[in-house]
């Protein structure tokens, strides 16, 4: 697989830590499947993994809401179906 960044190098399958920031906290996920370019060193993480991670982070962030806020959010979700850009079923 050719590197999309430099278009010269080739991407090699590797494992490396994924680092992201949650507010001001650093979150490190060790040993994530990734591709690294042998020329420019550009790293491409598995998209499925990133989606799963985002989902998990959303769940974690939601769990931090106090019960009143969670209730309000649930109510707001029920009432909010008229809003443009909302998910359509
Ligand atoms: Zn490259």
Mean pLDDT of 54-80: 74
Is 6 contained in some domain?
Answer: no
Q: What span, in angstroms and rounded, lies between the C-alpha atoms of 44 and 37?
A: 8
Is 4 contained in some domain?
Answer: no
Instruction: Quote the ligand 1 centre to 43 CA distance (angstroms).
Output: 8
**pTM score:** 0.57
Is 38 contained in some domain?
Answer: yes
Please write the tens of the pLDDT for every residue from 8-66: 999 999 999 999 887 788 989 999 999 999 999 999 998 898 999 888 888 877 765 66
Spatial strand order in the sheet of 43-45: 11-22, 25-37, 43-45
Is 85 contained in some domain?
Answer: no
Instruction: Quote the ligand 1 centre to 69 CA distance (angstroms).
Output: 46
Is 86 contained in some domain?
Answer: no
Provide the pLDDT for residue 66: 67
Instruction: Quote the ligand 1 centre to 31 CA distance (angstroms).
Output: 21
Is 75 contained in some domain?
Answer: yes
Q: Which domain holds residue 16?
A: 11-80
Provide the pLDDT for residue 84: 63
Instruction: Quote the ligand 1 centre to 28 CA distance (angstroms).
Output: 24
Is 3 contained in some domain?
Answer: no
Rounded to 5°, the CA angle 34-40-41 comes to 30
Q: 69 burial class (0-12, 13-18, 19+ CB within 10 angstroms)?
A: exposed
Instruction: Quote the ligand 1 centre to 15 CA distance (angstroms).
Output: 17
71: confidence class by pLDDT, cuts 50, 70, 90 = confident
Is 17 contained in some domain?
Answer: yes
Provide the pLDDT for residue 42: 94
* Domains held by the chain: number: 1
Residue 16, domain CATH = 3.10.20
Residues with CB under 5 A from ligand 1 (ion): 3, 5-6, 9, 37, 39-40, 42
Provide the pLDDT for residue 56: 87
């Amino acid at each position: 697989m050719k590197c999309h960044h430099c278009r010269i190098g080739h991407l090699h399958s590797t494992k490396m830590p994924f680092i992201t920031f949650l507010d001001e906290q650093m979150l490190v996920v060790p040993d994530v499947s990734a591709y690294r370019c042998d020329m420019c060193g550009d790293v491409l993480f598995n998209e499925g993994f990133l989606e799963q991670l985002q989902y998990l982070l959303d769940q974690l962030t939601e769990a931090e809401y106090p019960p009143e806020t969670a209730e309000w959010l649930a109510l707001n979700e029920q009432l909010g179906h008229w809003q443009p850009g909302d998910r359509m079923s």
